[in-house]
Every structure is written in structure tokens, then in C-alpha cells.
Structure 1
Amino acid sequence: MSAFVERVGRAAQSLRALFPETPLQQNDYLSRKTGARIFLKREDLTPVRSYKLRGAFNFMRKAIAAGAGEEGFVCASAGNHAQGFAFACRHFSRRGVVYMPVTTPQQKIDKTKLFGGEWIEVRLIGDFFDECNHAAKSFAGESGALMVPPFDHGDIIEGQATVAHELAEQLDGQLSDALVLLPVGGGGLAAGVTAFLQESGIGAHFAFAEPAGAPSLERSLSAGKRVKLPQVDNFVDGAAVAEIGREPFRKLKSFSPQDINLVPENRLCATMIEMLNIEGVVLEPAGALAIDSLKDLPRKEIRGRTVVAVVSGGNFDFERLPDVKERALRFEGLKKYFIFRFPQRPGALRDFLELLGPDDDITRFEYLKKSARNFGSVLIGVETKDPRNFAVLRRRFQESGWAYQDITDNDTIASLLI
């Protein structure tokens, strides 16, 4: 048994003072849908609804055992790391300071304060994470508080690896030849789980799920070195990381870019809505990554096989639900946006409405501008019950001589108008 495996075992035992092992549940719906035996490792059911508590707890546990952390701890985060950090500070009765952007939703601020209680102070600074991170590092240097990183540290990786320690016990020998699907942001969870199972001699296979708008691991594996992305899509905020961590990449660099499934953000939204409506499971975008990546696996390769999807978190702000529903409908082809050149004459709107079918509904009608006295540009959103209805609509538009442009998939225009 390797030293890493032994350390993870001790970390897992220590964690039991905070919460029992998270459930590993066979999901009948996903199993029937894929033909595989799909298990969900429910990290959304920790006390802070994400796996991040594991790493923060282990980092603090080891620091305190080594005599460090007397001046308290500090972190920079507006998400799950902040909440795990706060919970751990309260558990150890140590002062902690959390730096968050001023733009952080109040719900996340309140939850962090709730988990940390009297032991936590939240400081809001700047509009972006980099400003918070810089402020946290400066505070650590000035005060002597110990900085707790979100993913790029051996003790954090060791803590996240306790997910794999539990998996090995829960499946009790059935992990051999199983496929483990892991979400990737900074890489701490993926690095810990793969290292533990490999060094334990368990013959599991791995596939990774990254947001298509933040493929830091895929790009780094392709280049053979860490690559910092010039920009990322922040929709999957729990995994939208511009650069994979140094320590995680060191453990993951033996994998191939082909092991990474890049998950489109709109498709991810469809999975979130599906799991909410059918299974009653509330997932944040990052928490749905592994489940969504099932769609990229060839059915013939996983039929009858054991597949474990790690559900990394369920801290979903329901104020985002309208946007998630919108993205899901657009991905499924059930909603489209058009710009029409609309004639300025009596009866024009009635003529347009007569082209719609019984399952078609106008969800938005907005004049953008009157480009001429006789015509105006109109943004029209149409939702339907079957994506095939749009082919019928287009044919009717063309036969009736309507001038229009479909802007649904034009990200630049859509981001400005929708």
C-alpha cells in the first residue's frame, strides 16, 4: 500500500467526525436509458452540498497537527470552496477570513456565514476573483493566517481522494473494470480519485468531463504542459477554471486528451432540468457534468458495465433557473429566436400569427427599431413542443415572403438581444 493511500485512509477516518460517507446510489432511470449499471456518488449530500469540504478539512487538520494555523486561515472563493472552508473553520474553532467579489450573490454570502458562524468573516472586494485572490494572499502575508487553496495543494488533493476511498468500500470489489466519470475544474478531485484507485491496484477506468467553455485539462494534455486559457465561459462556475492546478496536472498528465469529454453548456442545462424533473435531484452546473458526459459514451461500450458518475455539488441558486430552462430549450431545439423585417401595415401581425401551428407559441415580441417608414426589425421568440415544427415554420415563412434571420445559435447577437 502506497503512502498516499495510507494518508487518504487516515483522512477518510478523520472526516467521519464531520459527516458519514456520502451515498452511492444506483440510478434506475439512467441505467435503463444507457443500458449500463449507473451509480451516482452523491457529493451534493455532504453538509455543504459539495465535496469541497473534504479538501479544506484535510488541509486544516494537517496544518493544525503540525502546529500551524494559530493565526487563523484565509481563502478566496465565491463558491463551494468558501462554504467548505467555513464549515471546517467552525469545526476546528479557528478564525477564518473569506474574500469574495463584491458581485457575489447574497445567497452564497449568507450560506458561507451560516456554515462558519462566529468563526468566519466575509470580506467583499473587487469585481473579479483575481482581485480577491490577491487580497487574500496579501492578508495572509500581513497577518500570518494560512492560505487554504481550492485545489492546487497535496493536502487538498488527499482530502478529495477520500471520495475514492469510500467508493472502494461501497462497491466492495466491483470497481474492477468499472468506468469512473469525474468532473474537472481545477483538477483536485480528479487527481485525488484517480491516484487513490490506481495506487490501490484497483483496475478502474476513467473519463473526465469539462465544460466546453473552459477546457483547461484537455488543452493542457494536448500541449503536454499546463496551458492558461485566454478566456473562459463562466456559466459552469464551479468548474470554469482558466488553468488546471500544478499539482493536479502532475497526477493527471498521463491521461490522453481523448479521455476528456467537453460538455456543451446548453446541453448541460438540459441534463440539469431532466434530473430535477424526473429524479428530483437539484444539481449545480458543475455537479451535472459527469452525468451529462454519459451522452458522449458509445452505448455498445458501456452496455452492462458498471459506471460511477461523481455528482460534485448541488449548490444551485434558483434565481438562475429561468436561464437554465432557456438554455435547455434552445439545446433541445424547442425554442428559437428570429429577427424579422416586419411590414408596418394593418393586419401584418395577424398574417404572421396565422403561419404558426397549434403547438407553436410566441414567447417574445419586441421591436428593435424601425429601419424604414414601411418596415421594422422585430425580435421574435418562438417555443414549440416538437423541434420538427420549425422546419414547417421556415417553409411557411419562405412561401409567404417573410424576410428573417435565425439568431438562436449566433452567440454574439443572441448575447446582446436575448
Structure 2
Amino acid sequence: MTDIEAQAIAVTESLRDLFPATPLLRNEYLSGKYEADIRLKREDLSPVRSYKIRGAFNAMRKALDARPDTRLFVCASAGNHAQGVAYNCSHFGVRGVIFMPVTTPQQKIDKTRAFGGDAVEIRLVGDYFDATLGTAKAFCDEAGGHFLSPFDDPDVIEGQSSVGVEILAEMETAPDIVILPVGGGGLSSGITRYFADASPGTEFYYVEPRGGASLGAALEKGELVTLDRVDSFVDGASVARIGERTFEILRHVDRDRVLAAPEDRICATIIEMLNVEGIVLEPAGALAVDVLPELAERIRGKSVVCVTSGGNFDFERLPEVRERAQKYGGVKKYFVLRMPQRPGALRDFLELLGPDDDIARFEYLKKSARNFGSVLIGIETRDPANFATLFGRLDAKGFVYQDITDDRTLSEFLI
């Protein structure tokens, strides 16, 4: 047994004082759909509904072992890391100051406060995480606390490797394939390093949100890259720059094994897992399941583990997630229609709709000085093919329109 294996196993055993191993469950629905033995490592069922509790526990345990008089821990987080730190502050009986962006959903703030109780103080600072992080580090230096990185810390990486230990402990034979979500890289690097010694024959695939694919960018350039723009929708995994320590572990990964998941498709996966399996996943937690269609040919007949990394889903986001899933599935579109300003024009349009076409949005701006007005219309239907029929009817009747469903700029301003 190597030192890395021994250390990972020791960490896993120490975690049993905090919570039992999360389940590794065969999913019959996904297994049948993809003709493979697919199991979900349910990190969404940890006490804080994510794997982040592991790294925070290990980093805090080691800090207290080195300096038993440490009484202040500081972190910056938009959600899951904050909850893990709060839970462990209460467990170890130490004080925590947790900095969160002002834009953090109230659900995550409330959960962090509930897990930490009187042991933690929450400070809302900055509109974006980078500003929050800078303030947190400055406060930590001034107050003489111990800063807890969400991913780029050797003790955090070691703590996350316990997920891999539990996977191998639960299976009679090692899995053929493990699919991991990637954000800052703490989870993926920890498991990858452990498996390199404990099960070198296991293959890995890594999944990033398309709007925050910092690992893929770094692998392409051969060095760390800071993305110019990040889509924060997958808030648990969208980072502009993967960690330095985590990249050192992952830099030898084959670029072809790093996949980018489009945000709208992730929404469809969240809805599918909720409706079919009753499993609540946050966007980052759905990443590993989301890429199964892309890997269908490669995983057929194989044993596969998908790490569902978190389930802290704010149900106030459900309408947005549902709409994005519909757009990805091609059953909802938005378009701007040029409507003649004459009596009966609206009726002419409505008569072109099919029996399964439903108007979900209608905004009409009438300007008396013009012969035409602009109408923003949202249509839901049952079959994507219905839109081809509808647009054919509009063309035949001479209506002028523009499909803006996939126009990011117009959608942000109009929808």
C-alpha cells in the first residue's frame, strides 16, 4: 500500500466520527437506458448535501492537530464549501467567519447558518466571488485566523479523496469508469490521485460546465489559464481558474477525457432525475450524469460510477431550470414577430398555431406612427417538429419574424 492510499484510508476512517459513508447505489433507470452497470455515488446525501464537508473536515482536523489553540477559521464560498465549514466549526467547537457574495441565494445562507449555529458568523461582501475572496483573505490575515481554501489545499484534496476510498470499499471489483465533476479540482484531483495507486486500471472522464471550462483550457495551453468570462449558472463548479495544486495532479489527463456540459442540457438532466428518479441535484451535482449520452458507446457493457457531488438546489430556480430544459429539448422557443397594425392581424396569427402550441409569453408594443408593431412571443409545444410546421405557416402568410431562442444577447435583454 502506498502512502497516498494509506493517508486516504486514514482520512476516511476519521470521517466516520462525523457521518457514515454516503451510499453507492446502482441506478436501474440509467443502467437500462445506457446498457451499463451505472452506480451513483450520492454525495448529495451527505449531512450538508455535498462532498465539501470532507475536505473542510480534514483541513480543520489537521490545523487543530498542528495548533490546538487555533480558534478562528475563515473561508469564502458561494454555498457548499460554506456549509461544510459551518458544520465542522460546530463539530470542533471553534469559531468560523464565512464570507459569501451578496448575490448568494438566501437558501444557502440560511443552511450555512443552520449548520454552524452560534459557532459561525456570516458576512455578505461583494457582488462576485473574487471580491468576496479578497476580503475574506484580508480579514483572515488581520485576525490571525486559519484560511480554508475551497479546493486548492493539500489537506482539502486529501479529504476529498475519501470519496474514492468509499467507492472501492463498496464494490467487489473496481469500476471500469468513473465520471467526475470538475470545478476548482479538489474532488477530481483527490480521487484521481488515489485511484492512480489503488486502481490504476480504472478509466476517468471529467465534466466541466461549458461556461466555466477552466481545466480544459489549461490542458489545451499546458498551463494555468484564467477564463475571460464565466457563466455562473453552475455555481458549484464554474470557476475562472482551476487550482494550482489540483492542476498539478490533473495536468497529465488526456484532453479528450475532459467534457464540457452545456448549461441548458444540465437543466434537462436535473429535470429528468427529479421527475423520473426523485433525485434532487444542483447543477454541479448533475454534471457526471449529464454526459452519459455523449459517452453512451464507450460505457456500454461497462461498470460506471457517476459522482453526484451535490443536492443543494434552490427550488426558486426551478422555473428557470424547467424553461432552459425546454429550450434545450426544442419544445420552447422565443421569437420577435412583426405584426401588421390592422384589425384582425392578431387573429390571423393565432389561427396558425397548432393544437399542441401554447403561448407562454406575449408582449405587444403598439406604436401608432408605424404600420407594424413588434411582438415578443414565447411558444411551448410537445414536439420540436411542430415549430417547423408553425414557421412554415408564418412564411406562407407573409409574417416576418426572428427566432431569438439561442441569441444570448437578445435573450438576456428581452426574456
Bin for the TM-score computed over the shorter chain: over 0.9
Which among 280, 301, 304 is matched to residue 301 of structure 2? 304
Q: Which runs of 5+ in 2 are unaligned?
A: none
2:394 is aligned to 397
| Separation in 1, partners of 2:192, 2:166 | 13
Q: Residue by residue, what CA displacement relative to the aligned partner does 1:209-259 show, whole Å, maximum 9, x if unpaired?
A: 100111100010111111110111111000000001011100001112111
1:143, distance to aligned residue in structure 2 (A): 1.2
Which amino acid in the other structure matches residue 279 of structure 2? V
1:3, distance to aligned residue in structure 2 (A): 1.4
Count how many residue pairs are aligned between Structure 1 and Structure 2: 415
Which among 185, 198, 208 is matched to residue 183 of structure 2? 185
Which amino acid in the other structure matches residue 140 of structure 1? C
Question: 1:412 is paired with a residue of what secondary structure?
Answer: helix
Question: 1:294 is paired with a residue of what secondary structure?
Answer: coil
Superposition pairs of residues 261-300 of structure 1, within 5 angstroms: 261-299=259-297
Which amino acid in the other structure matches residue 62 of structure 1? K
1:71, distance to aligned residue in structure 2 (A): 3.3
Q: Residue by residue, what CA displacement relative to the aligned partner does 1:107-131 show, whole Å, maximum 9, x if unpaired?
A: 1111101000111011112222122
Q: Kindly indicate whether the alpha-carbon contact (under 8 Å) linking 1:360 and 1:385 is maintained by their aligned counterparts in 2.
A: yes
| Separation in 2, partners of 1:322, 1:286 | 18
Question: 1:310 is paired with a residue of what secondary structure?
Answer: strand
| Separation in 1, partners of 2:146, 2:205 | 34
Q: Which runs of 5+ in 1 are unaligned?
A: none
Which among 330, 334, 359 is matched to residue 333 of structure 1? 330
Which among 336, 343, 366 is matched to residue 346 of structure 1? 343
Question: 1:40 is paired with a residue of what secondary structure?
Answer: strand
| Separation in 2, partners of 1:371, 1:64 | 73
Q: Kindly indicate whether the alpha-carbon contact (under 8 Å) linking 2:34 and 2:296 is maintained by their aligned counterparts in 1.
A: no
| Separation in 2, partners of 1:68, 1:17 | 19
1:26, distance to aligned residue in structure 2 (A): 0.5
Superposition pairs of residues 59-138 of structure 1, within 5 angstroms: 59-67=59-67, 70-138=70-138
| Separation in 2, partners of 1:22, 1:185 | 21
Question: 1:48 is paired with a residue of what secondary structure?
Answer: coil
Q: Residue by residue, what CA displacement relative to the aligned partner does 1:259-308 show, whole Å, maximum 9, x if unpaired?
A: 11110000110000000000000000000000001111142x22111010
Q: 1:371 to 1:208 in 2, by over 3 A?
A: farther
Question: 2:291 is paired with a residue of what secondary structure?
Answer: helix
1:173 is aligned to 173
| Separation in 1, partners of 2:199, 2:22 | 23
| Separation in 2, partners of 1:308, 1:143 | 43
Q: Kindly indicate whether the alpha-carbon contact (under 8 Å) linking 2:327 and 2:405 is maintained by their aligned counterparts in 1.
A: yes
1:159 is aligned to 159
| Separation in 1, partners of 2:231, 2:365 | 27
Q: Kindly indicate whether the alpha-carbon contact (under 8 Å) linking 2:78 and 2:235 is maintained by their aligned counterparts in 1.
A: no
| Separation in 2, partners of 1:246, 1:143 | 26
TM-score by length of 2: 0.98
Over the matched positions of the two proteins, sequence identity in percent amounts to: 58
Q: Residue by residue, what CA displacement relative to the aligned partner does 1:310-332 show, whole Å, maximum 9, x if unpaired?
A: 00000000000000001000000
Q: Kindly indicate whether the alpha-carbon contact (under 8 Å) linking 2:63 and 2:70 is maintained by their aligned counterparts in 1.
A: no
1:5, distance to aligned residue in structure 2 (A): 1.4
1:69, distance to aligned residue in structure 2 (A): 5.9
